[in-house]
Each structure stands twice: as structure tokens, then as C-alpha cells.
Amino acid sequence: MHNTPVALVTGANAGIGRQVAKDLAGHGYTVLVGSRDLSRGEAAAAKIDGDAHAVRLDVTDEVSIAAAAQRIRSEFGRLDVLVNNAGISFVGDAATPLEERARAGLLTEVPLDVVRRFFETNVIGPIALTQALLPLLREAPAARIVNVGSSGSSLTLNADESNPQRSMFGIYPTSKSALHAATLGFATALEPAGIKVNVADPGFTATALNNFQGTKTVEEGARHIVRMALIGPDGPTGTFSGDDGPLPW
């Protein structure tokens, strides 16, 4: 078995995921850089100081998930942290302004094939990957699962009529709300095993997901995700939080 703790970060070839992998490597973890494109994952891993390895992983592909799980088992023999970061926020031209993206994503407008793609990537993918990796996570002395969520997907905040952002509550926040619910489902089921499962909100971070229009750097966006990945035995489970503390579901 690998002597150092191992962390898998999905969608880690760029953006917040790459920064999370970099930060976990700085904390002494062997980091597995999950990437649909192996060459891009290898390029990202090569830029990380520490023990970093690229893993080809498409969370919408069951064969890819099974192959990644088998490789982690055979090559590393353990998995201590899983960060479900991979996701999509928009389908279309990357240059489309955010307001136009939001309008196109409203549930009154979005095509059903796009709805399915969002849920396959943002919800079913993390569930399928987590299930596939549970045998390894159960063997870890203190496994942690962090799902990257969004305060913009808070049902409580979007039910508030005074919230000006609620008009943009479309397919992306809907899919993230579903991921939040799935997180709570895993947390309650895995609590007896001591595996802590939480949602971490990176905040509005400048990445390709928002055409780099976010107000936080990737270093700032990764900070709370890493914090939740490193929580000790007294840390929470089944929570939704950001840099400033707990967030409403």
C-alpha cells in the first residue's frame, strides 16, 4: 500500500480543481489529477510540486470510472480523499455573456438533451464515481469526500423574493442543488463508517466555467475545498459551507 495519503480530484487539469490538487500535494498528499483528456491531466500534474499523477477520468462514462477505480486500487492501494469537482455550467459558445447563459439555462427554455447532460455530469457522475470508490474509501483510516457546490444553488436563498439572483435559477443551479441533496444522502449513510461528506462552495471564482468573469482567484476558490478535505475527526459531516461559514441548503 502507498505510504502517503492519496487524494483524487476530478476535473483537475485546470481551474479550481488543479489548484485543489496543488494545495493537497503541498499538504503531503499523493494527488491524482482526474481529467477526461489524459494529456491535459499529465501536463497539469507535471506542474504540481510533489507526488502528482494524471488519471484519465470521464465521470459520465461508467467504463472510464471503473478503469480509474481499478488503477487506483492496483497502483496506489488506497484512497483517502475524493474531491468531486468536475462539472459543467453552460453548453455552447464559451464567449457567451453570463446573463445570456443564464437566460438560456432557464428551465422554461433549456432543451431536454442539455438537461440530461447537466445531470449526467453534475449529479449522476459524482454519485457513480463515489459509489465506485467506496470500497477504497471505506478502507482508509479517515476518508473524506468533498463535493464542490454553489451558494447560487441554495434553495433557501433562491426562495427569498428579495434575492435579485433568483431570476437566474436555471439548469446549472438546479443540478447543483441536486448534488447538495446527494451529498447529504451519502453523509447520513456513511456516518457510521466515519467517512465525512460535505459540500464546499468556492464562491464566484474566475474560471472557464464563467468565462473568467468571477471575482475570486483560483487560489481563493480552492481554499475552503481543501480545508474541508483536511478536516479532523471532530470536523463536520453533512454540511454546506463556504469561506464565511455555514450556508443555507
Residue 98 parent element (H or E): helix 98-104
Catalytic residue among 22, 29, 172, 196: 172
Count the Cβ atoms, other than its own, within 10 Å of residue 226: 23
Residue 54 parent element (H or E): strand 52-56
Residue type, 135: P
29 is annotated as an active-site residue: no
CA distance 183 to 93: 30
C-alpha to C-alpha distances, 197 to 64, 84, 224, 234, nearest whole angstrom: 23, 11, 14, 13
176 is annotated as an active-site residue: yes
CA distance 135 to 146: 17
> Strands across the sheet with 81-84, in order?
52-56, 30-35, 6-9, 81-84, 144-148, 196-200, 240-242, 245-246
Catalytic residue among 22, 29, 176, 196: 176
Q: Are 144 and 80 in contact (CB under 8 A)?
A: yes
Q: Are 75 and 54 in contact (CB under 8 A)?
A: no
Tell me the HSE value of 31 on the side-chain side, using a 13 A CA sphere.
33
Counting beta carbons within 10 angstroms of the beta carbon of residue 133, is it exposed (0 to 12), middle (13 to 18) or buried (19 or more)? buried
CA distance 167 to 171: 12
Catalytic residues: 172, 176
